Amino acid sequence: MASRHLLGTSATSIGPARTVLGPPRRFSGRTAHLSLMDTEQPHQDTLETVLTLAELAARLGVTAHTLYDLRSQGRGPRGFRVGRQLRFRTGEVDKWLRHLEDEDAERHPAGGTR
């Protein structure tokens, strides 16, 4: 004698067929979630390179503490946190370095007298 599975999956225990709630939607030829997406342009990677605090400090030849001090004074590079870790976009670091160079050029003009 064959035994039935304990979970009750025999044909008699499945229950009545699902009822249809309404007529199916007509296919418009476009998928709604892609309607705003520009599919004509080739895919471009939009993620910019991001540096950790330690990586930025090593590249600049300063300590991480120096970068923390500059940021607390409002003079450091613009960054963001991922969890508890600071990250810096390379574009923001470049902008910050240009700003430092411009400030230094104003203080010490080329060819100026001392």
pLDDT in tens, 20-32: 677 766 766 655 5
> Domain for residue 81, yes or no?
yes
> Domain for residue 60, yes or no?
yes
Nearest alpha-carbon partner for 75 in 92, 96, 101:
96
The domain in which residue 88 lies consists of 50-107
Residue 66 in contact with residue 57, Cβ under 8 Å?
yes
Residues 6+ positions from 90 with CB-CB distance below 8 Å: 48, 49, 50, 51
- Measured CA to CA, the distance from residue 79 to residue 86 in angstroms comes to 7
Location of structure tokens 């870790």: 85
pTM, entire model: 0.56
pLDDT in tens, 73-105: 999 999 999 999 999 999 999 999 999 999 999
Domain count across the chain: 1
